[in-house]
Chains A and B, each alone.
Chain A
Amino acid sequence: MILNNPSPGRPLTLTQRWSTLFTVLLAIGMFGLGLVLRAQITGAVAEYEDTRIGIRLTYPEKWLQDTNSGDYVFRVRDMTRAGFKTTIQISVQPVSSLTTERNVADQLARSRVLTLQDYRVLSISQSTLRDIPIEIVRYTYNDQSTSPFLQSFSTVVEGQDILTIQRGQAIIISFRAAADSFEDEYPVFDAFLSDLEF
């Protein structure tokens, strides 16, 4: 929009002043509305509840959700992301009364080293999630899960598992992202954890 002052040196009329102010305010308002709409779209979440497993959660709305696998009970992937698809998944496995979170972490490491290329555990630490004791495992591996008929480089993936034992089963919450964007993506996982009920 272009505002012309028809006669330099002549003061604006009251109407013109109100028009200018209104225009500026309208522009600011529209900008703000755009931001809100954008935030609604990009920050929109979908809800998910599985009473069988006993979990309730929210996840980014346009992430591809899957619950039809024997390996996990819930998984979402950001399919709009180029390269490795940032993934959050929850799996459960039965444990004995003597099993600790650390035992589960070690067992996971032993099985993953057979199935994930160049799997390395970076760290294992204890913490709490809303007063629930958890084990945090950070790891890395090379992802090569592409069609054999295509030519793709493997991607270095960084992952973090949150392990806890609840009601006789180990709950493993995993977050995986390309190593070079792990930190940028991590807030999504933080938000996921903050809404997660189990």
Chain B
Amino acid sequence: MQMSSNVKLRYFSQVVALCCLLLVVVMVPGTAQESVASPGQDVDRLKRATVFITQVESENLTTTCIGTGTLVSYDGLILTNAHHSVLSDSCPGDILFVSLTLTVGEAPVPKYRAEVVQSDIGLDLALLRITQDFDGRILERDSLPILPFVTLASELSVGIDDTVTMIGYPDIGNSPLNSPRGTLTSFVAERSGGDQSWLKVLTAGAESIPGTMSGGGVFSRDGELVGVLTSAPTPSGTSSTDCAIIEDSNVDGFINNNDRCVPLGGFISVARSVEFARPLVQAAALDLQVTSLTTPSFNVQTQGTPSISTPFFAPAVVNNQPTTVLRSAPAGTDSLFLFFDYRNMTPETVYEVRVTVDGIPNEALSLPPVRWSGGTNGLWYIGSAGQTRPNGRYEFRVFVDGELAMDAPAAIDVGGPALEQPQFANVTFGLLDQNGNLGGSGYVLPTGNTATARFIHRNMTPGQSWTSIWSFNGQRITASQVTSAWQDTGDINTTITNLQPAGGLQPGNYRLELFIDNSLSALGDFIVAGAQVGPLARVFTNIEFRRAESLTAEPNQTPGTNFPDGAHTLYAYFDWEQIEAGTLWTVQWSVDNQVFYRQTAPWSAPQSGSDFTMQLTAPGGLPDGTYKLELLINDILLTENEVSIGIGQLPIDRFNQSEGVRVRGQIVDVETNQGIEGVAFLVISELFSLEDFTWAENQLYALAITDREGYFEVDRPLEFDAPYSVLVEVDGYLPLGVDGFEISRARLAEEGGNPLELRIELTHD
């Protein structure tokens, strides 16, 4: 490719002169900002990146569900809740309309249609991508304007009592955005994600956050997205406060109780941590899709109604296991967790925990109705850590699908001095070596003859009665029950107990319960799977990768760990041994150490086999990068392997920048003061001056075209302190241009913050 030398601009000198004479850049204060906006928080940008989502049934175009979402990429990725966007019994619509706040302070305007590209029903998160114009016309990826978006916090950077801003739509689309500021009052720990699974939020004036804001963003003082407001409507919640009849959905000419009631959800008090959304965003941004190609051999679907049982309290959690069982807690307790077993749960199950302290509802500890994210059966916990609780009697009531799921509330008294009571704690599992040391990964044991548990004991007195009982797949092994009198162990504060079932350890889920005087004192769960290799379990082996040229092409026969770019599809194969059907296992994919897929599911393939096949693909081809596949059980990494494609590193996306100076304004005729339509406002990259500009699009940093009133918005924020050049040239007017168009943070602050408003006057030639 060659460019002729005469392409250079000839009017540099005249442009400079005209700049001095004609370019009138009038900095006017930006639109009214929140009077108490935090430094670094561009509320206007956050609002523009917040969208209203309407799920609609295509048959008669009636609304089925509504909610809020947040644009998290310039090319139309929207992070929101799954419960109001993903097709389900309660939300049966098949079209998603996206409305934007065109003018801050006004109701949203429908502009686009979107499709679900990633979702996790249990976590209640979904990623939508804008794919069509409002009228259904397909939008090619590069025909979509660069949209305002927000960045996800790189890590959960907020703490208790930090100020946050919540943004969402307060009703069914009639009102402008609501952006109350509030406080992060506490974190709620959950089995789904550890200590910071949920963010409890409270508005400054303690106003209620309406359910239609569900899916909206919670932003830190720096303007980063730290959480997704979440409140799942309960299936039985059909009261007028939980849903609204807004359209003649049955087309009978009347709007009455026979019409569909659009679920609105209850008031919101929690947000799902953005950490859960990061893999979905990463997968959606790269268009990556992971599919398991191995046909399930067993049906692991739920049978029966959801239920919970065996609730008890623990002061701490280690590897998702309770350290011990609490009967009471001393004053000053700052960590408290409710554990319980659950059965027959599904991702669409809605659960809720209501906590009272001395009979008074405690909002900080309670969890409003949210989707279930724990799979079908297992041991669950919810609670909080590092937050001192006042003395009192704490009662936890767990509701499932709107119904109380416990015969009696789980209760514990907090207060008084720490009691020196007999106690067992910290149960771990493994195999004993010849020296009597416990080896292994702790919670995944190989098939064999023996399982050994080691636990800590405190304040036991010789002769005290204690009992150990082992369970297999939820059934107690009667023969394993041992009740005996405690024997003095001297200075050693740990002891062991063994399980040696007849016929050896079969693959499956095991539990050890330890009782002192017939009261549960500790328990621990572990999984037996795989063959024995020393003290470890060999469960998954031989991960191999093969590439294919297309989705339908056969993969290459030769496996590899380094493929040239252009790979459309990647196949991963691995072998497995001795895994019981229903065992929860986790598959995790990452690229350049950024997780983009993590799913925990019940094992549904035969107990042993080879070439379990997974397919990783992207419609436009897999981007260069180093891909890693990790296989886990009980959060224990059992095997991993990685493969690099192309240069082994993700390409840099130069548009993926949300911080900076947002420029907008109006271009007018200097004589008539009327806006001029269709004028191009060219921002030339800081690498080129006006003289160097050869009218090549790759020399541009950004481009804006004026609307019918002469208004324009530069679609990308300008970087601070970068010396851009700006050119405005249109037939019939003298051209304007300037080098060194550079805005510092201080200058932007002086001008009232984002957006920076320009008024440009053009003179007829």
Interface residues of B in 679-706 (CB under 8 A from A): 679-680, 682, 694-698, 700, 704-706
Q: Which residue of A lies closest to B620 (CB)?
A: A70
Q: Are the C-beta atoms of A46 and B4 separated by less than 8 Å? A: yes
A197 to B683 alpha-carbon distance, docked (Å): 33
Q: Does B162 contact A (CB under 8 A)?
A: no
Q: Does A82 contact B (CB under 8 A)?
A: yes
Q: Does B1 contact A (CB under 8 A)?
A: yes
Task: Tell me whether A79 and B729 are in contact in the complex, defined as CB-CB below 8 angstroms, given that A41-B10, A49-B1, A147-B713 are known contacts.
Answer: yes
User: Chain A contacts of B3 at CB under 8 A?
Assistant: 46-48
Q: Which residue in A41, A65, A71, A80 is a CB contact (below 8 Å) of B697?
A: A65
Q: Which residue of B lies closest to A66 (CB)?
A: B697
Residue-wise, chain B 698-720 has the 8 Å CB interface mask toward A (1 for contact) of: 10100011111101110100000
Q: Are the C-beta atoms of A50 and B731 separated by less than 8 Å? A: no
Q: Which residue in B9, B111, B147, B680 is a CB contact (below 8 Å) of A85?
A: B680
Q: Does B730 contact A (CB under 8 A)?
A: yes
Q: Does A64 contact B (CB under 8 A)?
A: yes
Task: Tell me whether A65 and B696 are in contact in the complex, defined as CB-CB below 8 angstroms, given that A49-B2, A147-B715, A151-B707 are known contacts.
Answer: yes
Q: Are the C-beta atoms of A81 and B730 separated by less than 8 Å? A: yes
Identify the interface centre among A49, A82, A85, A116: most chain B CB within 10 Å of its CB: A82
Q: Which residue in B102, B137, B730 is a CB contact (below 8 Å) of A82?
A: B730
User: Chain B contacts of A115 at CB under 8 A?
Assistant: 137-140, 143
Residue-wise, chain A 31-68 has the 8 Å CB interface mask toward B (1 for contact) of: 00000000001001111111100000000011111111
Q: Residues of A within 8 Å of B, CB-based: how many?
A: 41
Q: Which residue of A lies closest to B111 (CB)?
A: A148
Residue-wise, chain B 483-518 has the 8 Å CB interface mask toward A (1 for contact) of: 000000000000000000000000000000000000
User: Chain A contacts of B711 at CB under 8 A?
Assistant: 150-151
Q: Does B6 contact A (CB under 8 A)?
A: yes
Q: Are the C-beta atoms of B715 and A66 separated by less than 8 Å? A: no
Task: Tell me whether A65 and B2 are in contact in the complex, defined as CB-CB below 8 angstroms, given that A79-B680, A148-B111, A152-B677 are known contacts.
Answer: no
Instruction: Report the minimum CB–CB distance from B716 to chain A (whole Å).
Output: 12
Q: Which residue of A lies closest to B709 (CB)?
A: A151
Task: Tell me whether A80 and B7 are in contact in the complex, defined as CB-CB below 8 angstroms, given that A68-B698, A149-B713 are known contacts.
Answer: no
User: Chain A contacts of B715 at CB under 8 A?
Assistant: 147
Q: Are the C-beta atoms of A152 and B6 separated by less than 8 Å? A: no
Interface residues of B in 714-765 (CB under 8 A from A): 715, 729-732
Q: Which residue in A61, A66, A70 is a CB contact (below 8 Å) of B698?
A: A66
Q: Which residue in B7, B102, B111, B697 is a CB contact (below 8 Å) of A61?
A: B7
A70 to B112 alpha-carbon distance, docked (Å): 23
Q: Which residue of B lies closest to A111 (CB)?
A: B138
Q: Are the C-beta atoms of B695 and A62 separated by less than 8 Å? A: yes
Q: Does A16 contact B (CB under 8 A)?
A: no
User: Chain B contacts of A152 at CB under 8 A?
Assistant: 677, 707-708
Instruction: Report the minimum CB–CB distance from A145 to chain B (whole Å).
Output: 6
Q: Does A189 contact B (CB under 8 A)?
A: no
Q: Which residue of B lies closest to A62 (CB)?
A: B695
Instruction: Report the minimum CB–CB distance from A23 to chain B (whole Å).
Output: 27
Q: Does A83 contact B (CB under 8 A)?
A: yes
Q: Which residue in B111, B695, B732 is a CB contact (below 8 Å) of A65?
A: B695
Interface residues of B in 109-138 (CB under 8 A from A): 111-112, 133, 135, 137-138
User: Chain B contacts of A66 at CB under 8 A?
Assistant: 696-698
Q: Which residue of B lies closest to A51 (CB)?
A: B1
Q: Does A117 contact B (CB under 8 A)?
A: yes
Q: Are the C-beta atoms of A82 and B707 separated by less than 8 Å? A: no
User: Chain B contacts of A49 at CB under 8 A?
Assistant: 1-2
User: Chain A contacts of B48 at CB under 8 A?
Assistant: 149
A176 to B142 alpha-carbon distance, docked (Å): 18
Interface of B: prevailing SS: loop
Instruction: Report the minimum CB–CB distance from A65 to chain B (whole Å).
Output: 5
User: Chain B contacts of A70 at CB under 8 A?
Assistant: 142
Instruction: Report the minimum CB–CB distance from B102 to chain A (whole Å).
Output: 5
Instruction: Report the minimum CB–CB distance from A171 to chain B (whole Å).
Output: 17
A164 to B707 alpha-carbon distance, docked (Å): 37
Q: Does B678 contact A (CB under 8 A)?
A: yes
Task: Tell me whether A69 and B6 are in contact in the complex, defined as CB-CB below 8 angstroms, given that A63-B695, A82-B677, A83-B678 are known contacts.
Answer: no
Interface residues of A in 92-125 (CB under 8 A from B): 114-117
A182 to B416 alpha-carbon distance, docked (Å): 88
A117 to B143 alpha-carbon distance, docked (Å): 13
Instruction: Report the minimum CB–CB distance from B75 to chain A (whole Å).
Output: 13
Interface of A: prevailing SS: loop
Q: Are the C-beta atoms of B708 and A82 separated by less than 8 Å? A: no
Task: Tell me whether A80 and B133 are in contact in the complex, defined as CB-CB below 8 angstroms, given that A65-B695, A69-B142, A152-B708 are known contacts.
Answer: no
Q: Are the C-beta atoms of A114 and B138 separated by less than 8 Å? A: yes
Q: Does A20 contact B (CB under 8 A)?
A: no
A115 to B144 alpha-carbon distance, docked (Å): 11
A79 to B703 alpha-carbon distance, docked (Å): 10
User: Chain A contacts of B731 at CB under 8 A?
Assistant: 80-82
Q: Does B145 contact A (CB under 8 A)?
A: yes
A148 to B696 alpha-carbon distance, docked (Å): 25
Q: Which residue of B lies closest to A147 (CB)?
A: B145
User: Chain B contacts of A84 at CB under 8 A?
Assistant: 678
Q: Are the C-beta atoms of B145 and A117 separated by less than 8 Å? A: no
Q: Which residue of A lies closest to B3 (CB)?
A: A46
Q: Which residue of B lies closest to A67 (CB)?
A: B1
Interface residues of A in 139-155 (CB under 8 A from B): 144-153
User: Chain A contacts of B730 at CB under 8 A?
Assistant: 80-82
Q: Which residue of B lies closest to A49 (CB)?
A: B2
Q: Which residue of B lies closest to A113 (CB)?
A: B137
Q: Does B245 contact A (CB under 8 A)?
A: no
Q: Does B100 contact A (CB under 8 A)?
A: yes
Interface residues of B in 321-362 (CB under 8 A from A): none
User: Chain A contacts of B616 at CB under 8 A?
Assistant: none
A144 to B705 alpha-carbon distance, docked (Å): 12
Q: Are the C-beta atoms of A149 and B6 separated by less than 8 Å? A: no
Q: Which residue of B lies closest to A81 (CB)?
A: B731
Task: Tell me whether A114 and B137 are in contact in the complex, defined as CB-CB below 8 angstroms, given that A67-B1, A150-B711, A150-B713 are known contacts.
Answer: yes
A131 to B138 alpha-carbon distance, docked (Å): 37
User: Chain B contacts of A50 at CB under 8 A?
Assistant: 1
Residue-wise, chain B 1-23 has the 8 Å CB interface mask toward A (1 for contact) of: 11110110110000000000000
A81 to B731 alpha-carbon distance, docked (Å): 6
Instruction: Report the minimum CB–CB distance from A198 to chain B (whole Å).
Output: 15
A146 to B146 alpha-carbon distance, docked (Å): 10
Q: Does B676 contact A (CB under 8 A)?
A: yes
User: Chain A contacts of B680 at CB under 8 A?
Assistant: 79-80, 85
Instruction: Report the minimum CB–CB distance from A191 to chain B (whole Å).
Output: 16
Q: Which residue of A lies closest to B98 (CB)?
A: A148
User: Chain B contacts of A82 at CB under 8 A?
Assistant: 676-679, 730-732
A47 to B2 alpha-carbon distance, docked (Å): 7
Q: Are the C-beta atoms of A150 and B137 separated by less than 8 Å? A: no
A145 to B146 alpha-carbon distance, docked (Å): 11
Q: Which residue of B lies closest to A117 (CB)?
A: B137
Q: Which residue of B lies closest to A148 (CB)?
A: B111
A128 to B2 alpha-carbon distance, docked (Å): 28
A49 to B2 alpha-carbon distance, docked (Å): 6
Q: Which residue in A51, A61, A79 is a CB contact (below 8 Å) of B6?
A: A61
Q: Are the C-beta atoms of A146 and B707 separated by less than 8 Å? A: yes
User: Chain A contacts of B139 at CB under 8 A?
Assistant: 115
Q: Are the C-beta atoms of A148 and B145 separated by less than 8 Å? A: yes
Closest 7 CB pairs of A and B: A66-B697, A150-B707, A83-B678, A82-B678, A79-B680, A47-B4, A152-B707
- Some 27 contacts from A to B, beta carbons below 8 A apart, are A41-B10, A46-B6, A49-B1, A49-B2, A62-B9, A65-B696, A69-B142, A71-B142, A79-B680, A80-B729, A80-B731, A81-B731, A82-B679, A82-B732, A85-B705, A115-B138, A117-B137, A144-B133, A146-B705, A147-B704, A147-B713, A147-B715, A148-B145, A149-B100, A149-B102, A150-B707, A153-B708
